[in-house]
Every structure is written in C-alpha cells, then in structure tokens.
Structure 1
C-alpha cells in the first residue's frame, strides 16, 4: 500500500510518501508561505526520487484543517485533483491530530497550537493510549488565555507544539511553570509523514472517501467572511 500525503495547513509545505509501514520519502519547506508555487514541484520531485508515478499510489491524503485558509485550499484541491485523475480514493486527516502524532511516544499531555492571529489559537489536548491519539477536548479556536485555563484544569505535564508554540513560549512557561515544555524543532512543525501514518490507519479501517467528498475543515469563518457579515449587519441596522 502506498499513500501520498501533504500538509499545507501552516507556513510549512510538506509532502510524504508511505509504503506499507515505511516513509520512503519526504520533503518539507518552512520558508515563506508560497504553497501554490512549491507544492506541485515538491510532489513531482519526490515521486521522481522514489521512482513512482501517481498511478502507483493507492490513496492520497491531505491535512484538512484547521489552519491557514489559503494553505488548506491549496493542499486539499491538489490532492483531490491528483486522486480524481488517478481514479484513487482520498483520506482526510485533521491537522491537529497529525501534529499531535508527532509526539506519539510521549506520556505527557500533548497540545498542538496553530496561530489563528490576535493571540487566538486553533488547538486541542491529547493523550496517547496504545500509540493512538486520544482527543481530550473538542477542536477549539480560542484565546491563548483560555487554553491556559483549560490546561490548569487537567493533571500532568504538557508538551506544546505547532507554529504558535514559540510565539507564546514565554507566556505558557510563565503561567504553567514546570508543567509546560515546548517540543523540539524537529517535532514542533507540521509533518506530512504524520498525515500519511494516520491516513494509513484510516485506510485500513475503510475510512477513505471519493475526491468529491474531501473538504477543508476551517473550524471558524475567515476574517474576510466575518468582516462581510459585520458590514451586512451594519447595513441592515441603518
């Protein structure tokens, strides 16, 4: 079984190919959010390096969100198009689940945090049981202060990872003291290999979809949509 997976939910563009239980190739780039320019060349180059064609891939997977609205659309659209052309299924993987999977061997609480601007984060809290991520909260789009209060209500050490962990490092460690730690750089960022491994599990459980069914998971409306709603409300109030 071969799975091609992408993650474009954050500034990181990442592509990986899983063959059975082995990641046979992976490319990542965390320099500038230009996924529309980088993603397809990365996919094509990786396929060439591992001597595969799209027809050799059994399923295509994407991190569907939450995360960057534009990034998610690029990754999901690319995977849907490739799967449709190859006549293969797709597998949706939640971004926070994939981030948490980077720390699958940890016995601590795992808390991925994705920057949602204005001190807001997309987040959830996990614990691993038998190598599987158990989500202890719903997916959340909340202020970083609210997240700290949620963590305070739980017991045990917590590891933070994701693109927002460094920007809030001082606050998290100040508020949570020795309970809080920040994941090492090699584990802290979005990683298509984790998307591929979670997709493999879903594929084995018969949870694949058609290319028409995969949709980005935004968790909340975009800034543009929220501003439009406010404008419409003001117009109606006149």
Structure 2
C-alpha cells in the first residue's frame, strides 16, 4: 500500500507519503498561513518528492482530533474529498495516538499534551507493548493539576510530549521531579509520517472509515457552540 497522511489538528500542517516499512516523503510547515492555503500544495509537492502520482495512492489517512476546531475541519474535508475523488479507502487516526507514536518502545509512560486553551490540555496516557502502544487513559481535556493527580496513580517514569509542554513544564517538573521526562522539541507536533504509518496499519486491518460520515473528534464544544447554547438558555 501507498498511503497519504494528512495532519492539520494543530498550528502545524504536515503531510507524508508512506508504504510498508518506509516513509517516502514528508513535509511540515509552521507558519501563519492557514491550513486551507498550505495543505494542497504540500500534498502535491509530497507526491512529487515521493516520485509518484495521485493515481498510485492506495489509501488516505487523516488526523481526526482532538485539536484545533478549524484545523480539523480543513484536514478532514481535504482527506474526505480526496478519498471520494480518487475512490480510495480512508482511515481516521486519533491525533494523540499520532503524537505519541514516535516514542513507541520508549521506557515508562508517554503523556502527550496539546494546548487546548482555557487552561487545559488535550491529553492521554500510553505505554509500549511488544507490538506497539497501548492507551491506558483515553483522550480527554483536562487542567494540568487534574492530569498530575491522575499520574500520581502510576509509579513510573513519564515522558511528556507536545506543544502543551512549553506552558506547563515548570509545574510538571516541580510536581514530579525526576519522574518527568521531556521529549525533544522536534517531536512537539504530530507528524504526517506518524499519521500515514498508523493509517496504513489501520487500512491493512480493514479499519476503513466512510468519507461521508467520518467526523472530527473534538472532545468538547467549540466557542461558537457554547455561545449558541448560552443564547438559547437566556431566551428560554
């Protein structure tokens, strides 16, 4: 299989092309342009870098969240459109799975942190098995103190990874001391290569998503939805 991976759940846009045991091409940008501007040129360039055309693709993988509401909508709409136009199977990859994936085989636990704003992070907890990673704590939006209390139940080294780490590194180190490990800055954002590789694994297992019904995994309501609910409550 040759799978195109699309990651747009964070401020970074990333695209990769992967096949069994090999990443053929990968591009990532972290600039002020919107994902709607970045993604299609990056996809075109990644296919060219891989030396293939779109007709040679055999699958599409896309990060489904949690993450930026706008970014997820752009990433999902791009992937769903490509899957339908090219008549390719589509796989939805949880964003925190993709973020933690490069640390597969790492000793101890892996705790991804994505900035969720409102003094919260999107987080989960993983540990490596003989065949990959197992999710011990499913994805959730949580305050940092809530997360640290949860981690007290695990007497293991925890490696933190993600763009939410920068804001909370002080309180994490203060609370956990030597038990807290910090992943390199180059792993701060989910990689397109991780989305492509995980998507390839899902497709090989037959875990195909319907492009007409695959939706972003937001975890919580958007600001617009909250304001709408508040207006409805006031007008009751």
- TM-score calculated relative to the size of structure 1: 0.96
Change in Cα spacing, 1:178 to 1:93, as seen in structure 2 (3 Å) is same
Structure 1 unaligned runs (5+)?
none
SS in 2 for 1:123: strand
How many Å separate the matches in 2 of 1:226 and 1:153? 33
Q: Which residue number in structure 2 is paired with residue 63 of structure 1? A: 63
Change in Cα spacing, 1:148 to 1:185, as seen in structure 2 (3 Å) is same
Deviation of 1:33 after TM superposition, in Å, equals: 5.5
Q: Which residue number in structure 2 is paired with residue 223 of structure 1? A: 223
Q: Which residue number in structure 1 is paired with residue 125 of structure 2? A: 125
SS in 1 for 2:224: helix
How many Å separate the matches in 2 of 1:24 and 1:158? 31
How many Å separate the matches in 1 of 2:141 and 2:30? 23
Q: Which residue number in structure 2 is paired with residue 150 of structure 1? A: 150
Contact 1:158 1:181 in 2 (8 A): yes
Q: Which ranges of 4 or more aligned residues in structure 1 deviate by more than 6 Å?
A: none
SS in 2 for 1:10: coil
Contact 2:89 2:203 in 1 (8 A): no
* CA-to-aligned-CA distance 1:4-57 (integer Å, 9 cap, x gap): 001111011000000221001000112236211111111111112222121111
Q: Which residue number in structure 1 is paired with residue 18 of structure 2? A: 18
How well do the aligned residues superpose, as a CA RMSD in angstroms? Answer: 1.2
SS in 2 for 1:138: strand
SS in 2 for 1:197: helix
Q: Which residue number in structure 2 is paired with residue 140 of structure 1? A: 140
How many Å separate the matches in 1 of 2:34 and 2:136? 34
Q: Which residue number in structure 2 is paired with residue 233 of structure 1? A: 233
* CA-to-aligned-CA distance 1:50-103 (integer Å, 9 cap, x gap): 221211110000000000000001111001111111011100000011111021
Q: Is 1:167 matched with 2:167? A: yes
- Aligned positions, number: 236
